[in-house]
Amino acid sequence: MTETISRQPLIAVEHLFKSVTDSSGSLDILRDIDFTLQPGETVAIVGASGSGKSTLLSILAGLDVPSRGTVRLQGHDMFALDEDARAALRAQKIGFVFQSFQLMGNLTALENVMLPLELAGVRGARVQATEMLQRVGLGQRLQHYPKLLSGGEQQRVALARAFVVRPAVLLADEPTGSLDFATGEAVMELMFALNREQGTTLVLVTHDRGIAARCDRRITIAAGAVAADEQGVLEQPG
């Protein structure tokens, strides 16, 4: 007899709409977005500029609020929570990597990576942050401020900061967008390696077809709606 094991989705996006209104009227940014993400999946959100990708990512993070619909994170209805409770859930479950790094300029690399641990009240933050910076190859840059680091080094600090809290999901918005090709390739290799090690669900917005092809799944957004949802890692052109 075969036993069926049901897995609760890590994220469930349920009939999501987002509209904004200005002097010219109402604009639909997202229209009836509906999908689930399983633990450990790597998912690329792709589509033309202005299609709604970054807005969708912001709503997945609970940073933006939908006009209708909801997002459930490990069963928690994010938009049934008040802003403080949503922020607390985000701090516990979600890591971020941005195109512009978003490091604190007045903090060293080590202090940037320690920050989310300290905010969460984790003991031994300095040791954990040091180990993570060593893991991303920056063991000799602990006391350097962001302005003294290259773009690739800053993005590795951002990766260390995101992964040090062992998030259930990592959201990345064009993580190689401000890097040259070789540096971007090295950063993505590191991101995928850390993701495998921790079993994180990785959701990234990208225009890079090569990066999207490496993901387990690609969700294409067109004119604010899901135009395609494809499974399977694609072969990359040689």
Total domains in the chain come to: 1
pLDDT score at 3 = 44
Report if residue 12 sits inside a domain. Answer: no
pLDDT score at 235 = 58
**Nearest-angstrom CA–CA distance, 71 and 153:** 33
pLDDT score at 10 = 93
Report if residue 22 sits inside a domain. Answer: no
Report if residue 116 sits inside a domain. Answer: yes
Report if residue 99 sits inside a domain. Answer: yes
Range of the domain at 164: 38-231
Report if residue 74 sits inside a domain. Answer: yes
pLDDT score at 236 = 55
Q: What is the DSSP string of 52-105?
A: SHHHHHHHHTTSS--SEEEEEETTEEGGGS-HHHHHHHHHHHEEEEETT----T
Report if residue 179 sits inside a domain. Answer: yes
pTM above 0.85, yes or no: yes
Report if residue 3 sits inside a domain. Answer: no
Report residue 118 as tokens: 């300290």
pLDDT score at 234 = 62
Residue 116 is part of a domain; what is its CATH number? 3.40.50.300
Residues facing 13 on adjacent strands: 35, 71
pLDDT block averages, 10 residues each, the chain of length 238? 59 95 87 94 92 93 93 93 91 88 94 92 94 95 96 94 93 89 91 92 92 94 93 62
Contact status, residue 27 vs residue 179, Cβ threshold 8 Å: no
pLDDT score at 22 = 81
Report if residue 2 sits inside a domain. Answer: no
